[in-house]
Amino acid sequence: MARPRQTLLTRQRIVDAAAALVDADGLEAVSTRRLATELGVAGPSLYHHFPTKNEILDAVADAVVARVDVASFATHDWREALRLWACSYHAVLCAHPNIVPVLAHGPGRRPAALAMADTVYGALIDAGWPPARATHIGALMRYLVHGSALGSFARGFDEDPAVYAERYPHLRHAHLLAEHQHSVDEGAFALGLDTVLAGLDHLHRTLTKGART
């Protein structure tokens, strides 16, 4: 009698299973034992593909970053390209907020993250930004996007109006913020992005004007 065929274990299957665990239960949910159970394999078989849990999380993080659209840098002015990229980046991370702490450590050796950084930095250099400023802009945009995806401002306030009534009169409507989470959080990100891009546009004009004189 033929043995039942065992499903082939691949890096992609491991990454997909780990990503589902991270999305559902957070980073701490990922362990070789739990992944092996989810995949129906023996724990040691995972080590043929990923020697450590951190390498699995790195791969999950890179798979998330690979979904960010950077095509605008080849087709748009640097200002609009930054906007479109930041919005795509923000949307992707908001869909997978539990992986943000891994991304916050920087790209490391992750291929998709490095390719994205290379694209953004190269476009800024091509637009006339000095290398140091291009680096600052890349870091600034990462802080804005990661911070906006890391948690909800609106849901950070208690929904009991009594908390604010007497001691914090200026926050007397804070208990209502959670009801308007999307408009509050997305509005804050949009305002931050608009403000940053306006400031960068002004700085760029100043730099290019100085270079012409």
**132-157: per-residue pLDDT in tens?**
999 999 999 999 999 999 989 999 99
Q: What percent of the chain has pLDDT over 90?
A: 84
Confidence of residue 45 (pLDDT cuts 50, 70, 90): confident
pLDDT at 1: 41
Closest alpha carbon to 85 in 96, 72, 100, 95? 72
pTM (2 d.p.): 0.90
Q: Which residues contact 90 (CB under 8 A, 6 or more apart)?
A: 145, 148, 149, 189
Confidence of residue 7 (pLDDT cuts 50, 70, 90): low
pLDDT at 3: 45
In whole angstroms, how far apart are CA 65 and each of 79, 85, 97, 113, 149?
A: 21, 12, 12, 6, 13
Query: How do residues 70-101 score in pLDDT, each as one tens digit?
Result: 999 999 999 999 999 999 999 999 999 999 99
Closest alpha carbon to 79 in 35, 141, 14, 34? 141
Between 148 and 212, the more confident residue is 148
Percentages helix, strand, coil for the chain, rounded to the nearest 5? 75, 0, 25
Confidence of residue 179 (pLDDT cuts 50, 70, 90): very high
Closest alpha carbon to 65 in 31, 100, 35? 100
Token digits for 117? Answer: 């950084």
pLDDT at 117: 97
Between 213 and 202, the more confident residue is 202
Burial (CB count within 10 angstroms: exposed 0-12, middle 13-18, buried 19+), residue 3: exposed
User: How far apart are alpha carbons 1 and 107 in whole angstroms?
Assistant: 50
Asked if 110 and 118 touch (Cβ cutoff 8 Å), the reply is: no
pLDDT at 2: 45
